[in-house]
Amino acid sequence: MSKFKTLIFTSLLLVPLSGIAASAAIAKDLRDEPTIDRPMFAVALAIEISDKCTSIDARKLKGLNVLWGLKTKASKLGYSDAEIKAYVESDAEKSRMRRLGEIYVKSKGLNPTSGVDLCTLGQQEIAVNSLTGSLLRSRN
């Protein structure tokens, strides 16, 4: 895991929250919460693109802000800090995100192992101002 990814995941877990989480029992995993999982995927994809593409940088502060917001949202949905930490640190979830990323890149007609193709995807995401694109910046 890159230092940036470690920083993001550690920061996500250490952000203190005020307020009390909902007390209702949670029947689903965080991966089943689209309002959490989809933005988490967008952040993961942005990190992967910025790690592999030298012409694109990550907007690190914006990414951290998104992650802190996701932690707050998960807490408000009733998930405990332990459940959030388990989701963020899970090797199975990281593998699942990687598989989803590969599927997404291939769906765009690109090769997920090609740095050039990841740069192309990054530029496309920036151009359409997707959540992933909003977390990236061209180095031009």
Residue 92 has pLDDT above 70, yes or no: yes
Residue/partner pairs of 57-64 with CB below 8 Å, 24 or more apart: 57/136, 57/137, 57/138, 57/139, 58/4, 58/135, 58/136, 58/137, 59/134, 59/135, 59/136, 59/137, 60/4, 60/8, 62/134, 62/135, 63/8, 63/135, 64/8, 64/11, 64/12
* Averaged pLDDT for residues 68-87: 96
pLDDT at 1: 55
Query: pLDDT per residue over 1-17, tens digit each?
Result: 565 555 555 555 444 43
pLDDT at 28: 83
Split at pLDDT 50, 70, 90, the class of 20 is: very low
Domain boundaries, the chain: 34-138
